[in-house]
């Protein structure tokens, strides 16, 4: 058993933990690949938690809760689960807790109590919540970020006169529309996710997020900043302002739910919550951000007057905190004024270094924490868009949730800003994104100084994070993953081809077309399926019968070079107790390609309102070098459908 693999008991216990405990289970059976559970209360099931358990390949929420474990192992897990409950497979669980469950629950309670004694700092709690808010948005950040980066490069090339705007502008507009679908409404998505984290109503959280956009405000009579008397600007308060407002929303909602009668709760609670939090957000949170922004303007002007490397370091270091509070909007008129007066803004290239520092920090995290697969996967997705100047995925998905790397990344940005300030006279001829996408807009051929700053920020962020920015708990997590690993000499490999024929006469389809989501999403592996025209099922390969399932609906074959083939006859036919299946082979029997494996009563399957799709899945895809489905449509059982190149390990 590998270090990260759970024992049968641990896996079984974790499954119980995420379905509401043994007391929520009526019975357990299993098929060729899945543990099938009949439950009392489906609301107690934590689907995301189940899917995250090591060893669980997927979950199907159907009439029965189906937990995909895989052939061979599923029967062991199901047996362990019913043994823990003191019943047999298919037998109804007793209402009273078994002694073993009582012991397990007591142990779990003690573990949770011990965990509760451990002190959690307020900062760690806040950072964890921020992570939970933004991690679900990472795929959208990455996709729209890449689109935005491409659009930015094209826009800058048009502005610089390097490409024709008449030819490219429509493509740029389409990409900007796609990009703005995410970034234009980021405050709304943040509000929804924050509400889910803080246990508020998600749609109300979205509304609170949208409030900072000030949609519907009369521009001729704008709302006033209570601190300065100036008009409020859309976006003041920023992302963190939205998170704070939604946290307040969760408190107000919980309180109102307790005091408002149930008969009018659905009307009164959301109305009062929106009014109370909306007023606080508009007349306190946003004005407070505006008040801070005014002070920041004075600070920026002072820093600009000082000039040189010092200015560059200060501006490069503190720009990202400004972005988080939505204060970067105050810089737009400064950029515009600089361009109008001098033809360039020397502020933008300095501020662009902040994102470069994030890139360097992320690379350092990748190097130091390479065993943390979840973190490294997020970094791999966020790095390309970070290099293109879209920093949100790196900020909210990687550095900010970890705390210390965000600070060292800001220092890296300061180092890059100091280099740009030291070189001097590096300006952009228009307002655009940062990162490498800004290079075409650098004025007077001084792009080399900007690139030098980017490199300095990358290196500065990397070094600061590598030596000082890795949190202690992250290092311990990575060290734990590295220790106790045996030195394994990887075998050399040979590749051998295997050709699979059709298992039946009929119509062949790709696996994506099958109705069962487990096979459709290839949780068990890739393959094909046949809509059969007759009852005969044939072996697609030479090999040994490794499994004939008790309900006869599934057969496993292993070839001499280790290819594992699963033949699944019909969809959800495990409940038919083997009646439609006349299996002609036994476990351990040698078979040749084209040998008859079974006869299937197709009409009996149809009468049971089940589908007759005959599925072939290769369950050890990690051992497969290439996989090609060569034919679909009408086939006979002698037609070759799959070409597979197996990777054979030899000593």
Q: Residue 299 CA to chain centroid, in angstroms?
A: 39
How much is the CA Rg of the chain, to the nearest whole Å?
30
Counting every residue written for the chain, the total comes to 651
The residue written with tokens 């996709």 in the block is: 143
Residue 280, both tokens: 């606080």
Find all residues with CB under 8 Å of 121, minimum gap 6, and list them: none
Annotation marks residue 31 as catalytic = yes
Rounded distance between C-alpha atoms, residue 303 and residue 326, angstroms:
20
Rounded distance between C-alpha atoms, residue 424 and residue 35, angstroms:
66
In 432-525, where do the E strands start and end?
492-501, 506-510
SS3 of residue 347 by DSSP: helix
Tell me if 353 sits within 8 A of 413, measured CB to CB.
yes
Rounded to 5 degrees, φ, ψ at 57 are -90, -20
What element of type H or E holds 265? helix 262-280
Rounded distance between C-alpha atoms, residue 570 and residue 553, angstroms:
7
Catalytic residue among 19, 25, 28, 31: 31
Strands across the sheet containing 596-600: 536-538, 596-600, 581-583
Q: Quick one: CA dihedral 244, 245, 246, 251, positive or negative?
A: positive
Tell me if 81 sits within 8 A of 15, measured CB to CB.
yes
Find all residues with CB under 8 Å of 52, minimum gap 6, and list them: none
Q: How far is CA 94 from CA 105, 170, 252, 561, in A?
A: 16, 67, 42, 46
Rounded distance between C-alpha atoms, residue 256 and residue 270, angstroms:
9
Active site residues: 31
């Amino acid at each position: 058993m590998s270090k990260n693999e759970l024992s049968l008991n641990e896996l079984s216990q974790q499954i119980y933990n995420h379905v509401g405990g043994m007391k929520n289970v009526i019975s357990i059976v299993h098929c060729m690949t899945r543990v099938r559970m009949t439950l009392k209360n489906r609301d107690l099931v934590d689907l995301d938690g189940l899917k995250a358990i090591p060893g669980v390949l997927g979950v199907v929420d159907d009439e029965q809760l189906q937990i995909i474990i895989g052939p061979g192992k599923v029967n062991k897990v199901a047996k362990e689960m019913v043994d823990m409950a003191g019943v047999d497979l298919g037998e109804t669980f007793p209402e009273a807790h078994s002694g073993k469950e009582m012991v397990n629950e007591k142990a779990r309670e003690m573990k949770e109590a011990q965990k509760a004694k451990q002190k959690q700092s307020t900062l760690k709690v806040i950072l964890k919540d921020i992570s939970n808010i933004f991690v679900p948005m990472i795929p959208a950040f990455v996709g729209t970020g890449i689109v935005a980066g491409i659009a930015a490069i094209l826009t800058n090339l048009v502005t610089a006169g390097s490409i024709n705007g008449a030819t490219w502008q429509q493509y740029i507009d389409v990409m900007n529309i796609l990009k703005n679908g995410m970034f234009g409404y980021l405050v709304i998505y943040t509000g929804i996710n924050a509400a889910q984290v803080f246990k508020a109503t998600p749609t109300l959280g979205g509304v609170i997020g949208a409030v900072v956009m000030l949609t519907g405000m009369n521009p001729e009579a704008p709302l006033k900043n209570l601190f300065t008397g100036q008009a409020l600007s859309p976006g003041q308060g920023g992302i963190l302002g939205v998170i704070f407002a939604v946290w307040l929303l969760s408190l107000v909602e919980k309180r109102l739910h307790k005091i408002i009668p149930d008969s009018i709760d659905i009307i009164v609670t959301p109305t009062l919550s929106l009014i109370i939090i909306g007023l606080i957000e508009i007349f306190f949170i946003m004005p407070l951000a505006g008040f801070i922004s005014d002070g920041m303007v004075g600070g920026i002007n002072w820093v600009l007057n000082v000039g040189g490397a010092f200015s560059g370091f200060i501006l490069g270091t503190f720009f990202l905190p400004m972005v988080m509070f939505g204060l970067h909007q105050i810089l737009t008129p400064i950029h515009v004024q600089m361009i109008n007066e001098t033809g360039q803004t020397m502020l933008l290239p300095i501020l662009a270094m902040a994102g470069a520092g994030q890139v360097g920090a992320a690379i350092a995290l990748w190097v130091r924490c390479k065993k943390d697969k979840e973190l490294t996967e997020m970094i791999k997705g966020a790095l390309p868009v970070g290099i293109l100047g879209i920093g949100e995925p790196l900020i909210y998905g990687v550095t900010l949730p970890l705390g210390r790397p965000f600070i060292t990344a800001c220092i890296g940005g300061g180092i890059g800003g100091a280099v740009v300030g030291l070189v001097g006279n590096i300006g952009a001829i228009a307002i655009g994104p940062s990162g490498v996408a800004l290079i075409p807009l650098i004025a007077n051929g001084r792009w080399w100084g900007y690139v030098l700053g980017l490199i300095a920020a990358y290196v500065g962020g990397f070094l600061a994070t590598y030596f000082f920015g890795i949190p202690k708990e992250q290092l311990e997590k990575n060290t734990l993953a590295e220790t106790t690993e045996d030195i394994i000499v990887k075998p050399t490999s040979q590749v051998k081809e295997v050709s699979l024929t059709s298992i039946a006469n009929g119509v062949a389809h790709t696996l994506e077309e099958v109705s069962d989501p487990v096979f459709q999403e290839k949780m068990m592996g890739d393959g094909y399926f046949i809509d059969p025209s007759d009852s005969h099922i044939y072996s697609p390969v030479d090999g040994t019968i490794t499994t004939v399932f008790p309900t006869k609906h599934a057969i496993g074959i292993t070839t001499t070079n280790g290819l594992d083939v699963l033949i699944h006859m019909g969809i959800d036919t495990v409940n038919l107790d083997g009646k439609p299946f006349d299996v002609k082979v036994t476990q351990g029997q040698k078979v040749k390609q084209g040998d008859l494996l079974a006869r299937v009563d197709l009409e009996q399957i149809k009468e049971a309102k089940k589908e007759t799709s005959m599925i072939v899945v290769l369950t050890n895809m990690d051992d497969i070098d290439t996989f090609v489905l060569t034919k679909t449509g009408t086939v006979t059982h002698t037609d070759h459908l799959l070409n597979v190149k197996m990777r054979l390990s030899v000593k």
